[in-house]
């Protein structure tokens, strides 16, 4: 089921823009076996082999990769530190730095988790517990569609695979810039997902929800396209997607919160909550503030696992400072 510069490390999804789907464009299909793609294929082969190692060994390799990323990706390190300072002003500078280091550890582990999600048989998935499947069943009664409301956590790919083992789910997707990874993601999702909808295909999303599908949906990243508003996220003004309520209203879909996280013992907890009552209302901004509070609560439960390397507080206009500008 991952800002574009980082997508080579962790594939991810983005929320849909509420606009008409574009006409299908004829796209030039690159020759994926051209020599310029050989290094990427070699990397894929390496991680395919690494995914066969015992999970405890992969976790050790992830720790080494995290230390490497921390030192060689200063731009993303800077973004993570800024985001954490803004969202947790009560923490000391030392606590923020330790949390940022832990975040890079979570990202690296998420990379290995993605390999596991793509290639491992179900019997090799780490221990996990799914709580609240009855809430999802109740929301889907009568073939009703479901927006499975979540956020961008580093566990999203593996926990998405775990959830998909319980029944058919759909997802929103966005191609990465790398065509090799884009092809692999496309094939994996075509094989495992009931439906995969491009992030800006509103008609496809509406069709899937009206058809009774449950769709993974994360509206927590900054975009200036589609319906947005400047709303607080951890008390800080952020450009926020306000389309969720309108999509639910258009399709009759239930909005069901779902969040997952790694636990200290190496297992995973996936929790599905009951469908939101009295949602949507006539006030799209109030509805979105409500969703932001749900996401904030989930982030506080495992703050290092949220996707802090994304510039969550960008595109806010000239009246607010560029918090990511280096001084």
pLDDT digits (tens, 9 = 90+) for 287-296: 999 999 999 9
Q: What are phi and psi of 57, to 5 degrees?
A: -70, -40
Tokens of 194: 């009931």
- The confidence score (pLDDT) of residue 34 equals 77
What pLDDT band is residue 29 in, cutting at 50, 70 and 90?
low
Tell me the C-alpha distance between 163 and 144, whole Å. 19
Q: DSSP characters for 248-311?
A: HHHHT-EEEEEEEEE-TTS-EEEEEPPPPTT-S-S-HHHHHHHHHHHHHHHHHHSGGGB-TTS-
Residue, of 155 and 192, whose pLDDT is higher: 155
- The confidence score (pLDDT) of residue 190 equals 65
Q: Does residue 77 lie within any of the structural domains?
A: yes
Q: Does residue 259 lie within any of the structural domains?
A: yes
Q: Does residue 255 lie within any of the structural domains?
A: yes
The dihedral built from the CA positions of residue 210, 136, 291 and 101, taken in this order, carries a sign that is negative
List pLDDT tens digits, range 213-222: 999 999 998 7
The dihedral built from the CA positions of residue 130, 134, 135 and 139, taken in this order, carries a sign that is positive
- The confidence score (pLDDT) of residue 31 equals 82
Lowest mean pLDDT, pick from 62-66, 174-178, 257-261, 286-290: 174-178
- Dihedral angle over CA of 102, 106, 112, 116, nearest 10: 140
- Whose tokens are 């799914």? That residue is 130
Note down the domain range covering 182: 4-21+39-305
Lowest mean pLDDT, pick from 76-80, 221-225, 227-231: 221-225
Q: Does residue 287 lie within any of the structural domains?
A: yes
Q: Does residue 233 lie within any of the structural domains?
A: yes
What pLDDT band is residue 65 in, cutting at 50, 70 and 90?
very high
What pLDDT band is residue 37 in, cutting at 50, 70 and 90?
confident
Q: Does residue 319 lie within any of the structural domains?
A: no
Q: Does residue 244 lie within any of the structural domains?
A: yes
Total domains, the chain: 1
| Long-range CB pairs of 311-314, under 8 A, 24+ apart, other chains included | 311/3, 311/79, 311/83, 311/222, 312/83, 312/220, 312/221, 312/222, 312/233, 312/238, 313/82, 313/83, 313/86, 313/222, 313/233, 313/236, 313/237, 313/238, 314/222, 314/239
What pLDDT band is residue 2 in, cutting at 50, 70 and 90?
very low
Q: Does residue 32 lie within any of the structural domains?
A: no
- Whose tokens are 């309108």? That residue is 246
Residue, of 301 and 28, whose pLDDT is higher: 301
Please report, rounded to a whole number, the percentage of residues in the chain having pLDDT higher than 70: 88
pLDDT at 53 over 60: yes
pLDDT at 128 over 70: yes
List pLDDT tens digits, range 269-286: 999 999 999 999 999 999
pLDDT at 318 over 70: yes
- The confidence score (pLDDT) of residue 215 equals 94
- The confidence score (pLDDT) of residue 9 equals 35
What pLDDT band is residue 224 in, cutting at 50, 70 and 90?
low
| Average pLDDT of the chain to the nearest whole number | 87
Half-sphere exposure (CA, 13 Å, Cβ side) for 116?
28
List pLDDT tens digits, range 144-189: 999 999 999 999 999 999 999 998 888 887 767 777 777 777 777 6
Average pLDDT over residues 89-117: 96
Angle, helices 93-119 vs 74-87, to 10°: value is: 120
């Amino acid at each position: 089921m991952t800002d574009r510069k980082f997508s080579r490390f962790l594939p991810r999804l983005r929320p849909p823009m509420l606009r008409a789907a574009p006409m299908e464009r004829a796209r030039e299909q690159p020759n994926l076996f051209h020599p310029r793609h050989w290094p990427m294929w070699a990397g894929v082969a390496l991680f395919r082999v690494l995914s066969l190692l015992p999970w405890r060994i992969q976790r050790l390799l992830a720790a080494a990769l995290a230390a490497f990323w921390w030192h060689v990706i200063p731009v993303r390190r800077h973004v993570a530190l800024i985001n954490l300072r803004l969202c947790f002003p009560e923490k000391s500078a030392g606590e923020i730095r330790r949390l940022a280091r832990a975040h890079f550890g979570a990202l690296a582990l998420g990379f290995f988790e993605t390999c596991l999600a793509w290639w491992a048989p179900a019997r090799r998935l780490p221990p996990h517990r799914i709580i609240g499947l009855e809430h999802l069943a109740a929301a889907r009664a009568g073939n009703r569609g479901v927006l499975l409301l979540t956020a961008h956590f580093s566990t999203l790919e593996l926990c998405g695979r775990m959830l998909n083992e319980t029944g058919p789910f759909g997802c929103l997707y966005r191609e990465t810039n790398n065509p090799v990874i884009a092809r692999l993601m496309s094939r994996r999702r075509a094989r495992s997902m009931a439906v995969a909808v491009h992030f800006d295909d509103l008609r496809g999303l509406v069709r899937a929800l009206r058809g009774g599908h449950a769709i993974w949906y994360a509206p927590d990243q900054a975009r200036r396209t589609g319906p947005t508003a400047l709303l607080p996220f951890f008390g800080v003004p952020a450009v926020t997607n306000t389309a969720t309520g309108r999509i639910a209203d258009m399709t009759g879909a239930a909005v069901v919160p779902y969040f997952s996280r790694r636990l200290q013992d190496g297992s995973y907890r996936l929790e599905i909550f009951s469908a939101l009552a009295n949602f949507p209302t006539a006030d799209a901004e109030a509805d979105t503030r409500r969703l932001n509070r749900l996401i904030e609560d989930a982030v506080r439960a495992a703050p290092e696992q949220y996707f802090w390397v994304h510039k969550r507080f960008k595109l806010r206009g000239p009246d607010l400072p560029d918090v990511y500008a280096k001084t």
